[in-house]
Chain A
């Protein structure tokens, strides 16, 4: 995973509340034993019609949103299952950040471990981002700011450790493995 400093893209709005992980990727596509190639099934049942053709009404299928990497979603995005296939599918479909008024705990954890930014903003800031959907947006991870032309920057909170891992492009397993001595001491003290 290479480090992430900044994500620049047009935004796209999907202002549906409680978008659950079954919408992000239905269970029938979880039969894989790898993490690649899931993007074609991102938002499967919204994005594709029964005959396999694209649903022209679904926002991500519209030509003007092609390549948009910043998703402004409704409240409580990613609720439901622990499937990490959800962020894998979104990333593979080109989404690199999700911005909402609330993001479910497990989804957020999974997203940040894979370089998908999961950002919570206030309802007023969210409304402004929705209103400007389609505009160019720049997310500065180091400064923790969402920047847009003609608007004041929106600051956001992000877990400091996750942020540093994202900036450095390192995963958390290395950090845990470096704690082997402390883990062994804990195990020894309990034995």
Chain B
């Protein structure tokens, strides 16, 4: 029997019709996640054509992108950015009611960023195909699910047929060997890999992250890594399920319970690449060499170790230097910071909030810095508050907000001012991503918190050493 990759097993298991004769494959979708921004046009197509949602029980919706992160007013109303964002939220509420789709709206104790919420509920499971009108759907690949972002037209296809037309991507192995040093997080590893692969290195491929450094990651850390596969050009990132995956999922609401869970776990663990399976491309990363890393440019592939100098200027990076107003061949550490954001589908989970709080504990955010901490879901917010993290964060002078995508893309009005420098735990540092003219430095939660305290881009290890002492 031929050794096959995890991707190939996922692909074969979901083939309604194989490709051939110039025709694409028809792929079955197990879970379709829906949010307010990319779905209204798809529901309009269903209405125009008189179609229904084929499998409402395979569809799960939430409100996250346009929602305010300030609490509701006493009368229950919310502080939307404008009438359009409110109308978009209300459109999804109405569409879900009309088409029989489960919505975790404001009244749900489970509402959250779509890529945080679905795994928490156990809706994300190994061996599945998962899509959403959102490029960070790659997050769910952390569970060994084939998960990728789609456009609104394809959202309509999945709503109507539970299927997508797909051309088979290539495979790419990213082998991460060794152990991450102390004080180096999964986000640092992620940024380091993005710097190595580059923003288009994964285009046309599905990445499988492999190796002992990957096996040592928690599920939350694996989600951080797979989340940013798209920043390497790959629509999907994968990590094969293992004991860590199974124990994380056990007991969650939407997974099978009791004996049925053990049977499912046995089935799930078969979703792994066979020994000797061939990948179209392969790269090796040495985990031991990874240090706290940040981006310095205007794409997520422009990454630098926090204690290293920036590259020399050349034709390919001159525009990024100009926009970021940074000096070539000088370290980014020490650069004045205006805003710090801890949140997003990359880094808003409980471990991320703990990492930030560990540095903020007993310290103050610098006078000139504004810091927002936005939990990824209602569930994480409750958990953090039960641990007292919110009190540490508030006592340090940071703002503790309601769950949502918030400043990652600023759709809800959580943005910085032109020219400001934001140290952000999110996933994209594109020009204007966090507000027109705003400069974004992507970083780990620990680096973000250390930078908030220092008032400048700062290496978190000094602060962590003090914590440990």
Contact = CB atoms under 8 A, between A and B. Distances in A.
Interface of A: 16-18, 20, 22-23, 26-28, 30-35, 45, 50, 75-76, 79-84, 102, 104-106, 109-110, 113-114, 159-161, 164, 171-173, 175-177, 179-180, 182-183, 186-187
B433 A182 contact: no
A33 B87 contact: yes
A34 B37 CA distance: 10
Contacts of A102: 200, 203
Contacts of B66: 31
Contact of A172 (B157, B204, B316): B157
Nearest to A18: B299
A179 B199 CA distance: 36
Contacts of A187: 28, 162
Contacts of B16: 179, 182-183, 186
B167 interface: yes
Interface string B135-162: 1010000000000011111101100111
Contacts of A81: 134-135, 149, 409, 428
B282 interface: no
Given A106-B150, A161-B165, A183-B162, 4 more contacts: A31-B37, A105-B203, A171-B153, A186-B16
Contacts of B157: 172-173, 176
Interface residues of B, number: 66
A79 B151 contact: no
Contacts of A110: 151, 153
Interface in B181-213: 199-200, 203-204
Interface in B50-103: 51, 54, 65-66, 81-82, 84-85, 87-88, 91
B299 A31 contact: no
A22 B151 contact: no
19 contacts: A18-B200, A26-B432, A31-B37, A33-B87, A34-B40, A50-B418, A79-B200, A81-B134, A81-B428, A82-B134, A84-B38, A102-B200, A104-B200, A105-B233, A106-B230, A176-B160, A177-B161, A183-B163, A186-B16
Interface stretch (B18-26, B442-450, B459-467): B18-26
A28 B88 CA distance: 13
Nearest to B153: A113
A58 to B, nearest CB: 13
A176 B135 contact: no
B411 A17 contact: no
B90 to A, nearest CB: 9
B430 A161 contact: no
